[in-house]
Amino acid sequence: MTEHFFQSEKLILLYSIFGAILLVFSLFFLQHISRFIVLTLLIVGIVCYYLEEVSLFDALLGFGENINLLSLFLLIPLIGTFMSSAGYLTALKEMVQEKERKGNQHPYRLSFFLTATIGVLLNFGSMPIVKRIAEESLSAYRDQKLTLTIMRAFAFGMFWSPYFVNVGLVLVLFNLSWLDISGYGFILGLIYLLVCWLMFRKISFPDDPIIEHTHLEKTYLSQQSLVPLLSFSFTLITLSFLLDYLLEVNMLTIVSILAIILPICWALGTKVISSYIHDVSEQVQSSFFRLKNEIAIFISAGFFGKAISETEIGATISEMLFQSSFGSVYLLSFSIVILAIILAQIGIHPIIIVIGIGSALSPEKFGVSPEYLAMLLLVAWTLATQLSPFSGQVLMASRLMGKPPKMLIIQNIPFVLLLSIILISTIFGLHWFKLL
């Protein structure tokens, strides 16, 4: 992240070494399948570096390739921590309770809207927050249906939000600015929401009784204003877009820095700095064990991706895919998305798939723009994580409703198949009309 402001080989080497140390320590705490995948990436990477006679110094820098992405993953939760410390999320819950008290509220529609909106900023944190608000505010709902609705709504931001790691990754891979793809991503996100709405009635779990709360916590009498929450969110988003336009740095760097600075400044201005620092301290102390899998996968995938870029594997894979798809961009697009979904089923994290494909494929080889390939990989990542028993949102949703991941995956199979056809056809149509 720092290299966008000043160049320093020593600094880059320092955080690369730090990345290597983090990776080594995280290996001891991984599950067997994750450890196997990480070690495989490292071994393949080392072999590539050796065969290409890459210097030890350059190889070591591979451990720092994804430190910027990891910083986004670690720092964005600070936004949610501040909102909680400042009482903004409590105010949001009270607003929901007030609406529920007035009656005629659709619990699923309300939860879907909340997740789709606050998820753009809060990322994974939005799912447990909305579920907790629902449990404490809604009078009647089906728990499993509600949880799946929340999980699907979360993915809206994965197509375009600069606060999501997958968006930051494709920007780095194809050297794009956020403005290059944000419009296309938002269109895909809106189409995704429409499909969610159309498929909502198809959600049906075999054992999902209605949960009724007759004695909800009555906090609406002391209802707080949502103005502070809206003001903070508006300032964060506006600064992100403005700085992306004005500065010669990528959006990933901007949102990472804003996630540190803006909450501190706002906490000082609203006199909640002590509470915020205390909450951040607790979050930092548990962050390694909470994110050990992401740390290992992100760092090893960066090491692997840099190794692949040093070889001719990219040209070879590009040629193979070109031949197997008969030169058709449409067939190639489907092949990449299906491949990502299949590999995600056996525990291969989408970041590995996206980095592998992004490092191997040349947009020019297939007659497409970097923006097209970036959007295709965003679709592949989003759909793969909807069906993978190892993805963050599936595991989170599974934990929230106390059921195994396979129950969510079964419900999502027709949903993802329909989305695959619609979203791939959409970006191909934009390409066909030379709009992408």
Rounded CA gap, 141 and 139, in Å? 7
pLDDT higher than threshold 90 for residue 181: yes
pLDDT at residue 1 in the model? 52
Prediction pTM value: 0.85
Bridge partners (DSSP) of residue 211 are 141
pLDDT at residue 135 in the model? 83
103 exposure class (CB count in 10 Å sphere: 0-12, 13-18, 19+) = exposed
- Helices and strands (DSSP H and E) totals, the chain: 21, 2
Q: What is the pLDDT of residues 368-411, one digit of tens each?
A: 999 999 999 999 999 999 998 878 888 889 888 888 888 899 99
Rounded CA gap, 288 and 26, in Å? 8
pLDDT higher than threshold 70 for residue 218: no
What dihedral do alpha carbons 8, 66, 163, 283 form, nearest 10°?
-90
- 400: which residues sit within 8 A by CB, 6+ positions away? 127, 128, 131, 147, 150
CB-based contact 373:363 (threshold 8 Å):
yes
pLDDT at residue 139 in the model? 78
Structure tokens at 11: 């600094």
Report the alpha-carbon angle 297-71-247, nearest 5: 130
Q: What is the pLDDT of residues 229-274, one digit of tens each?
A: 999 999 999 999 899 888 888 788 888 899 999 999 999 999 999 9
Q: Closest Cα to residue 154, out of 191, 184, 111, 188?
A: 111
pLDDT higher than threshold 80 for residue 359: no
pLDDT higher than threshold 70 for residue 176: yes
Q: Is 306 helix (H, G, I), strand (E, B) or coil?
A: helix
What dihedral do alpha carbons 399, 400, 402, 404 form, nearest 10°?
-50
Query: Residue ranges per domain, the chain?
Result: 11-69+293-432, 72-205+218-290
CB-based contact 356:309 (threshold 8 Å):
no
Q: How confident is the model at residue 146 (pLDDT cuts 50, 70, 90)?
A: very high
Q: What is the pLDDT of residues 160-172, one digit of tens each?
A: 999 898 998 899 8
